[in-house]
Structure 1
Amino acid sequence: MNAVESRIPLVVVGGWGVDAAMLLPLFDRWPGEIHLISLNDALMSRCDSITGVADYLLERYPCPSVWAGWSQGAQVVMAAASRSCPQVRKAITLAGFPRFVAGEQWSTGMEVDTFETFREQVSQNAGLAWRRFQRLLIHGSHDESQARQELRPWLARGPSVSDVNLVRGLDWLGSEDQRSLWGALPVPTLHLQASNDVVVECWEHSFHPSPAAKVVRVTGMTHWPRGQALSRCHDEILQFVFGKEVEWTL
């Protein structure tokens, strides 16, 4: 791999109600450009679906890149990869899912009643529901005190998206089903699942993505990749994207 190839850009798409910058510690030594995309008002107000977001981002970032998506952002990345394989050279999902809500032949999703209850809570008091959700990002951490300390600045900033678009994002979560897409996508993909995730249940044994995909269950990882899980994720991404012989410090 030459120097140009080792400096491939990275497009990082955040999830529902979270700032994509929360993932920066995972990519802080990436050797190329990093483009952080949060599902904020500016983006959601101009798009009407996950596919719409993907198409807009493909127009905005036309250079061949590695795309990484966290949670709902994983669906954006996979949609982008299905629309333009040349631009999405490789895809990475972090705590991602092809379908969020449980349904026919998909028992690993959130129960419909639980999802609808949460959606109603967001409609009635978005700020309170958002803070509860943020705390779920670190639920299950082995270092709970440290996790709360790291989360505190993000809680203090509040949501980077309006109440209306928080509800809109949930509507997308409730309707999007990418199982057929994930099962056939030819783009090389790394799915990093979190063993301690209370938001998204691991689907590694119940769903088989395309042959071009690799699924890794990261022990001790919560919905927010942090703490000791960062090292495992870092190593998996390093090997997947560059190969062992290339260091991120280039």
Structure 2
Amino acid sequence: MTERLILLPGWGLDSTLLQPLAEALGDQLRVEWCELPALTSAAVDDWLDELDARLPQDCWLAGWSLGGMLATALAARRGARCRGLIGLAANACFVAREDWPSAMPVETFAAFEAGCAQDAGATLKRFAMLCAQGASDARGLARRLQAALTEAAGAQLLAGLRVLASLDNRAALAAFTGPQLHLLAEQDALVPAAAGAALLALLPAGEVDVLEGCGHAFVLEQPQALAALLLEFIREASDGES
């Protein structure tokens, strides 16, 4: 298998935390993990423009949380120039809307954004703990996540949060006709697993699965299990083209 896969991290975290997943994928794929844009603009198109210019064409796009939402929007923009899309704990809308209730409550997100503006460091540490919630060893996982916290400036972190809040990928998910796999976590404290059914209803073709016994940071907690699912899906998609 010679497919090329690009991995994007979530908000507030360095892309190196994706290394265990990349290593678990072994030499069956050409895997690269890339940083999110370091922008102070909260315009989604500015983030997509940078990623589109920086990331290779004709590859699979995969991302965790915010990275998965950006990968989704970029896949829809690229269309046939994207081999396939994989979302890891990535919702269609991160913040709840009247017609998309399975997401973070508006008040919770507003408090989180205000906390980031006041004390970005403390907010990042809290975020790491939320990511680890639901894991079998939540404390140990939180320490690993805290070691991978980004060194981005506060203005960049706030811009990322605003992009996260404004992204609405419902049309993008429905428009992208390539293979799609979206994996959610049963105990996720940030992206409700209940969004799975609504996500599946949007897809022209693809799969949505919920992994049991893990939380938002399953990319770090269960890299081997994730790698097996990704490899199987990509292999089946590639075989279907031949």
**TM range, normalised to the smaller chain?**
0.7 to 0.9
TM-score when scaled to structure 1?
0.85
More helix by share: 2
Structure 1 unaligned residues grouped into runs of 5+: 1-5
Aligned residue for 2:53? 59
Partner of 2:126: 132
Specify the alignment match of 1:35 in structure 2: 32
Q: Percent identity?
A: 29
Following superposition of structure 1 onto structure 2, how do residues 17-96 of structure 1 map, counting pairs within 5 Å?
A: 17-28=12-23, 29-39=26-36, 43-45=37-39, 48-96=42-90
Q: Which residue of 2 aligns with 1:238?
A: 231
CA contact (8 A) 1:71 1:93 kept: yes
Is 1:225 the equivalent of 2:218?
yes
1:84 Cα deviation from its structure 2 partner:
1.1
Return the match for 1:165 from 156, 170, 179.
156
Query: CA separation of 1:110/1:228 partners in 2, compared to 1, >3 Å: closer, same or farther?
Result: closer
Q: Is the 8 A contact 1:138 1:223 kept in 2?
A: yes
1:162 is matched by which residue type in structure 2? A
TM-score, normalised via structure 2 length:
0.87
The match for 1:178 among 165, 169, 187 is 169
2:13, 2:148 within 8 Å by CA — same for their partners in 1?
A: no
Pairwise CA RMSD: 2.3
1:123 is matched with 117
Give 1:205's match in structure 2, choosing from 170, 194, 197.
197
> SS state of the match for residue 166, structure 1?
helix
Aligned with 1:68: secondary structure?
strand
Structure 1 window deviating more from structure 2 (24-33 vs 234-243): it is: 24-33
Per the TM alignment, residue 93 of structure 1 is displaced from its structure 2 partner at its CA by 0.5
Count how many residue pairs are aligned between Structure 1 and Structure 2: 235
Which runs of 4 or more aligned residues in structure 1 lie more than 4 Å from their structure 2 counterparts after TM superposition?
Answer: none
In structure 1, what is the Cα distance between the partners aligned to 2:57 and 2:177?
19
Distance 2:7 2:226 in 1: 15
Q: 1:149-207 CA deviation, whole Å, 9 max, x = no partner? A: 35425424542311111111111122121112212321211001111100111201234
Q: Is 2:146 the counterpart of 1:155? A: yes
